[in-house]
Amino acid sequence: PKKEGRWNREDNLLVAMKDTRGQIIGIISVNDSKSGLIPTEETVRPLEIFANMISEIIQRHMLSQIISNSEEKYRELVNNVKIGIFRATPAGKLLEVNPSVVEMFGYIRAKEFLKVKTPYLYQNPDDRPKLMKELEENDLAKNKEFILKKKDGTSFWASLTSTAVRDSSGRIIYYDTVLEDISERKNLEEEVKRLLITDELTGVYNRRHFNQNLPQEIKTAERWRSALSLIMIDIDDFKEYNDKYLHLEGDEVLKQTAQVISQVIRKEMDWA
């Protein structure tokens, strides 16, 4: 002020509004004094309190906007990701589902899928209790593989990762689960396994598989005191036939022989 104690027209009183870190987020400006006097520390104090109140309101609004934007981004991510996501209670009630998990189980609308109890999603009734037990003990079950059931009754392999969410008393209130359909991977694994243990030409088990399983069959027979027979079958004059009519004809003989034996054997795992 140009004159001590008096408020001049060009004077301004500025009060900063600060956040919890001390950063200025706004300023309250007073450019007139009703009394015509320059405010003292005592008269400025209510203005500082008012500035703090406004600062808290602004911060709450900013935080609300951040949370709202985060929720929108989270919701957008959950709805667009190709991996199934759902939230369910310990009792099996579905609370939230994303479009991918709805489609994964063969449903069209989320509203319809939300009516399904999660125990009915497992092909093996014992699988879910085992998963719940692990979550109760560790709060996390990672990459657990189960066979799940679709709406039409067909099944698919899935990998589940679940986390338990507890309230302040430590009680589990719901589980968040990420679900991935791994049927294609499982089918490939089964195909690789099949190729390793079967003969490519005839489709029956190969000698390697037979030799691996024979010791176990012997132990089983001894344990149950049951009879065990081992029959070796040879095709008469096969080498001469193969040399005379070449390998294509010889291969056909092997395939037909395998088909005939398969029709009279009790189960395919009994021979190779």
Residue 253 within any structural domain of the chain: yes
Chain center to CA of 130: 17
Last residue of a domain, which of 182, 217, 239?
182
**Res 1: pLDDT:** 40
* Residue-averaged pLDDT of the chain: 82
Residue 3 within any structural domain of the chain: no
Please check whether residues 72 and 95 belong to one and the same domain.
Answer: no
Residue 191 within any structural domain of the chain: no
Please check whether residues 33 and 94 belong to one and the same domain.
Answer: no
Chain center to CA of 262: 42
Q: What angle do CA 20, 26, 30 make, to 5 degrees?
A: 125
Which three-class secondary structure state does DSSP give residue 107? coil
Q: Which domain holds residue 219?
A: 198-270
Residue 2 has pLDDT above 50, yes or no: no
**Res 35: pLDDT:** 60
Model confidence over 70-98: pLDDT tens digits?
Answer: 656 656 655 666 788 899 999 999 999 98
Model confidence over 136-154: pLDDT tens digits?
Answer: 999 999 999 999 999 999 9
Number of domains in the chain: 3
Please check whether residues 175 and 89 belong to one and the same domain.
Answer: yes
Q: How much of the chain exceeds pLDDT 90, in percent?
A: 35
Last residue of a domain, which of 78, 93, 120?
78
Please check whether residues 22 and 104 belong to one and the same domain.
Answer: no
Please check whether residues 105 and 39 belong to one and the same domain.
Answer: no
Which whole number is the average pLDDT over 12-31? 72
Please check whether residues 87 and 149 belong to one and the same domain.
Answer: yes
- CA distance between the termini of the chain: 107
Please check whether residues 260 and 228 belong to one and the same domain.
Answer: yes
Residue 95 within any structural domain of the chain: yes
**Res 267: pLDDT:** 63
CATH assignment at residue 98: 3.30.450.20
Residue 215 within any structural domain of the chain: yes
Please check whether residues 108 and 169 belong to one and the same domain.
Answer: yes
**Res 8: pLDDT:** 64
pLDDT top residue among 3 and 267:
267
Residue 157 has pLDDT above 70, yes or no: yes
Model confidence over 179-198: pLDDT tens digits?
Answer: 989 999 999 888 888 888 88
Amino acid, single-letter form, for residue 125:
P
Last residue of a domain, which of 78, 100, 134?
78
φ, ψ for residue 7 (rounded to 5)?
A: -85, 125
Amino acid, single-letter form, for residue 196:
L
Please check whether residues 164 and 224 belong to one and the same domain.
Answer: no
Model confidence over 199-244: pLDDT tens digits?
Answer: 888 888 888 888 888 888 889 888 998 888 888 888 888 888 888 8
Residue 34 has pLDDT above 70, yes or no: no
Residue 124 within any structural domain of the chain: yes
Q: How much of the chain exceeds pLDDT 70, in percent?
A: 75
Cα–Cα nearest to 161, from 124, 182, 184, 131: 131
Residue 8 within any structural domain of the chain: no
